[in-house]
Structure 1
Amino acid sequence: MLSKEEYTKLSLEYNLFFARIMKEHLIFIEASLPIKNSKLILDVDDLKKDFESFLLEISYLSNRRVSEKVISSNQLVTPYTMNAEMLTEFYTGICIYTKITEVEMNLEPMCNAGYSPDLYKKIYNLNIEAIKLVEKLIDMKQKLLKDTLNCNIFITLYPLLLEHTFEEAKVYLNILMKLQNLDESVLNDNILNKEVFWNEIMEEHSMFIRGFLDPTEGNLINIANESAGLFEELTEKAKEALESNYSPEEVTKESIEATEQIKEFKTEATEGILNCNIRSIIIPLLADHVLREANHYLTILKSSN
């Protein structure tokens, strides 16, 4: 069973990472819907605002209560996040509350943070709020995916990308449920289970980047293709290791090397998109978004290794 101190720290860290990811999914959906769907666009924007309000409160609570490892990993914000948000707002007209990023850029790590019953209760209630928000988001994504697959709506996002965001939301919801039950498996789940999930996420990122690049960007397309193939292989290796009860060390080592490579590729791609040096239809915030997910995955891998 998780201690109250562990619960508090983990709740803040997971919400900082995943709530931002969720609200950015909503930005990507909003930017990809035709004006005909103005009612849906407004509903998406309203839910995005709810996530922003939640995330701002979590961000203020997190100062001096989360680990140096999480802050320095660049999984919460990167040096590019603010510019990516501002440029995305300029391109799309979608309002993005950059105050959250400003607060998170100035977070200080845990420093003799004590546990208090009032703080525990506050975070417990915030987790309940997060669960409601994520459940609402999952319902919205399910309906949007169904309408897309049934050709009842047009959206400039791949169906696989919608499924991808749906799976990430389910992982976030599962973590929140475990936290509320003080389930210590949120701390010590088999690393191979995480590698199966996150290697597949990295593979799909590579495929999305490949598909959003201009056809003239041959070199970058080739790199994305190779990356997708590598992570596909690593997903299968992790599955085989799970089924055979193999030691995860060698698979995890390969996953770290591959994720370091894709992190470098995503960093260069983010810089290129922000500086208008890459031909693509990649939203600037999407480039930073997938970079942060690679940073998050690296933190998981290195913590287990």
Structure 2
Amino acid sequence: MATNPIVARSLDEIAFWSRIMKEHALFLSLGFNLEHKQLVDEAQQFIALFERIEEKLSRFSVNSDLHQVQAFNNEVYQAAAAIWGYKRKVLGLTLRCEIRSNNYPLLVDHISREAAYFANRLKELNEGKLAPTADTVIQENVFFLRIMADHAKFIGHLLDPSERKLVAQAREFSHDFDQLLFQAVDLDSMRPQSETKPILSQFLDQNKVSVASLRDFKKTARELIEACRIKSNIHPLLADHTFREAERFLEIIDLFEASLSRN
């Protein structure tokens, strides 16, 4: 029996992003102070929720019934929407100075954008939207380039100031990805004139080289953090988390390149 591409893609998205959502809840909980017990409890509830989703996911396969997977997508969509609401609540409390924690406002905004992205992907898949269009290629890159730029900023701020070389490298990556993001935004505003294979292909090639470089930097940082060879406030799981997201972006670029070559 042929594998339904919507089923396969749905299960892949849920496998990747459910783990990411679970880790977001953990990172938020670690950043709160003792007086934020209710927020910590809510974070723990989300950890348990996404663990249940991961357990249920293990019962599915690429040969599962499409309608059952679509129903599961709807269930996970509700979880993604709920954690998005929680993250936006935390962001509002932080910006109004009603709470003070070790969670940067930009970090909270960053992880809420990822929750919105996850929810939107599930909605698109249930609408049968699988093959990328030129419009999707550019906008997806805008999203992920901003994510990569954020990661570089977070790494730079969480490294100990005495790690001068690594801090400088993180700042350089931040600048480079800001420039790539601005370039992607410019290209996005030029549609539909920009919807030509050569322009999109060059755009993806440029991003791929930069993301691979950042991925390698994150991999090295992760290994150094795990071995306690650099000074930072970066949790080893956070280092691995950002590395996996760079890997994910590279996989998506490969999917887009394959789609362009077929069309």
TM-score above 0.5, yes or no: yes
Any idea what the Cα deviations from partners look like across 1:233-258, whole Å, max 9, x if unmatched?
11111122222233222221110010
Deviation of 1:204 (Å)? 0.6
Is 1:290 matched up with 2:247? no
Q: In structure 2, the residue corresponding to 1:157 is in which secondary structure?
A: coil
1:44 aligns with 2:43: yes
1:151 aligns with: 97
Contact 1:124 1:180 in 2 (8 A): yes
Deviation at 1:181, TM superposition (A): 1.7
Runs of 4+ with deviation above 6 angstroms: none
- Give per-residue Cα distances to partners, 1:178-204, cap 9 Å, x unaligned: 11222345x445311111111111001
**Cα drift, residue 22 of structure 1:** 0.7
Per the alignment, in what secondary structure is the counterpart of residue 248 of structure 1?
A: helix
- State how many pairs are aligned: 249
Distance (Å, rounded) in 2 between the aligned partners of 1:132 and 1:253: 35
Match of 1:16 in 2: 15
TM-score (norm 1): 0.78
Q: Confirm whether residue 237 of structure 1 aligns to residue 176 of structure 2.
A: no
Q: Provide the C-alpha distance between the structure 1 equivalents of 2:85 and 2:256, rounded to a whole number of angstroms.
A: 33
Identity of aligned residues (%): 29
Give, as a single letter, the amino acid of the residue that structure 1 aligns with 2:45: D
Distance (Å, rounded) in 2 between the aligned partners of 1:28 and 1:60: 28
Q: How does 1:24-103 map to 2 (within 5 A)?
A: 24-62=23-61, 65=62
Contact 1:16 1:59 in 2 (8 A): no
2:150 pairs, out of 204, 212, 216, with: 204
Contact 1:237-1:251 at 8 Å conserved across structures: no
Query: Alignment RMSD, CA only?
Result: 1.6
Amino acid aligned to 1:133: A
Report what 1:135 is aligned to. 81
The offset of 1:127, in angstroms, is 1.1
- Asked whether the 8 Å contact 1:33–1:41 carries over to 2, the reply is yes
Where structure 2 has 5 or more consecutive residues not aligned to the other structure, the ranges are 258-263
From 53, 61, 66, the equivalent of 1:120 is 66
Per-residue deviation at 1:60? 4.5
Task: From 242, 252, 255, give the equivalent of 1:300.
Answer: 252
State the Cα deviation string for residues 46-69 of structure 1 (Å, max 9, x = none): 11101011012214424xx3xxxx
